Amino acid sequence: MKFLTPFIVALLVGIGIGIGAGIMMTKTKIGESETRIADLEAKVSDLQTENENLQNLRKSSQAAAQRAISEQDRTQKGFQSVIEQLNARLTKANAELAQLKGPEPVEGDTGQASTGTKATEAGAVVATTDYVVQDGDSLWKIAANELDNGMRYKEILKLNSDLSEDKPLVPGMTIKLPSQ
C-alpha cells in the first residue's frame, strides 16, 4: 500500500490538473463564444434598425407617389373640365355666328335674292334647303343621310363655296343642300 499511495496521489493530481486545464480551456472558449454572441447580437440589432429604416423609407416613398398620382389626377380633371368648358363655348359661339350670318342670299335667274335657290357654276338654278351641321357630321355623312347617296357630297361642295374637302365642318354652321 505504500507503493500504491504515491501512485494514487499522482493519479489524483493528474486528474485534477486535467480537469483544471479542461475548465480553463472551456472558460476561454466560453469567453470567446460570449464575445462572438455579443458581436452577432449587435449585428442583428443593426440589421433590424436598418430594416426598420428601409421599411419607413418604403412607406414614405409610397405615400409620396400616391400624393403625386392624386395631384396628377386632380390636374388632369381640371384640364379636362377647362377643355369641356372651352368646347362648349366654342360650339355656342359657332352657333351664334351661324345665326348671325343667316341664310346667304343668292341671285337667281330673275336677279332677285332668294334663300331657296342657288345658281351653279353652269348657271343653272338649283332648289336648296338649309341644313345645320351637327357634331360628328361630315360631307359624306350628310349626303348619305339627307340626299340618300354619299357620293352627292360633291354637290354640297358646289353649292357652298366656303366649304372644301380639307376643311372640317363646324357644328352649328348652316350649309345649303340640293333638294332631293
> What is the model's pLDDT at position 123?
54
Is this structure's pTM higher than 0.85?
Answer: no
92 phi and psi angles, rounded to 5 deg: -65, -45
> What is the model's pLDDT at position 116?
57
Which DSSP string do the residues of 118-160 spell out, in sequence order? EE-TTS-EEEEEEEEPPTT--HHHHHHHHSS-GGGHHHHHHH-
Give 10-residue mean pLDDT values along the chain (180 residues). Answer: 75 81 77 83 90 90 89 84 81 75 48 45 72 94 94 93 89 90
3-state helix, strand, coil in the chain (%, to 5): 65, 10, 25
> Mapping DSSP to helix (H, G, I), strand (E, B) and coil, where does residue 171 land?
coil
Q: Where are the beta strands (DSSP E) in the chain?
A: 106-107, 113-114, 117-119, 125-132, 174-178
> Mapping DSSP to helix (H, G, I), strand (E, B) and coil, where does residue 117 land?
strand
The span from the first CA to the last CA of the chain, in angstroms, equals 148
Q: 159 with 129: CB under 8 angstroms? A: no
> What is the model's pLDDT at position 32?
81
